[in-house]
Amino acid sequence: MTSTAWRVSGEVIEREELLDGRCQVVLDGESDGSGAGAASVVFAVSLVWLLGREGAIPLSEGYVTVADDAGELNASLDAGSVEASEETGAAAVRARFTVDAAEGDLSGFAQLSGDAVGGARVTCDIEVGTESWSGELRLEEIE
């Protein structure tokens, strides 16, 4: 399995308590230009989970877009959890997403040798604050 990891950070664009008792956060960010995934890559992340629980809470929805200057990959939640603090608003997220759409020239994602759709996944290990977020996102080819 080939993979590329990016150190990423960005802004919390939206944080909303939905009427059905769930929390939704929308994040925008970019790679810091270091490590194996040194190319400039931008990320958009949307996550949803049920409020009012303690410990590891399963994510109920999630989407990630990974884009460089020429192409983009879109991925939907496969599995994941969040540990959120009601007091501080901080959240630790661990999740796995399956790539379900790709557009443009994907040559910037050199670790993908085959079809990205259904053949790749994005994993994340991120810390979300009230205004900013950071962590690691990894693009992996599924063997």
Which strand (E) or helix (H) includes residue 5? Answer: strand 3-17
pLDDT tens-digit series, residues 80-96: 999 988 888 899 999 99
Could you give the CA distance from residue 136 to residue 5 in angstroms, rounded to a whole number?
7
**Residue 94 burial (CB < 10 Å; 0-12/13-18/19+)?**
middle
CATH architecture of 3-141: Beta Barrel (2.40)
**Max mean pLDDT range (34-43, 86-95, 113-122):** 86-95
| Half-sphere exposure (Cβ direction) of 53: Cα atoms closer than 13 Å | 14
Weakest-pLDDT range from 7-11, 19-23, 28-32, 33-37: 33-37
pLDDT tens-digit series, residues 41-76: 899 999 999 987 778 999 999 999 999 888 899 999
Weakest-pLDDT range from 88-102, 103-117, 122-136: 103-117
One-letter-per-residue 3-state SS of 49-115: EECCCCCCEEEEEEEEEEECCCEEEEEEEEEEEEEECCCCCCEEEEEEEEEEEEEECCCCCCCCCCC
Altogether, the residues listed in the chain come to a count of 143
Could you give the CA distance from residue 41 to residue 68 in angstroms, rounded to a whole number?
5
Q: Is the pLDDT of residue 9 over 90?
A: yes
Residue pair 37/23 in contact (Cβ under 8 Å)? The answer is no
Could you give the CA distance from residue 104 to residue 129 in angstroms, rounded to a whole number?
32
Question: Which of the pair, 112 or 142, is modelled with greater confidence?
Answer: 142
Q: What is the pLDDT of residue 119?
A: 79
Tell me the mean pLDDT in the region 15-41.
Answer: 83
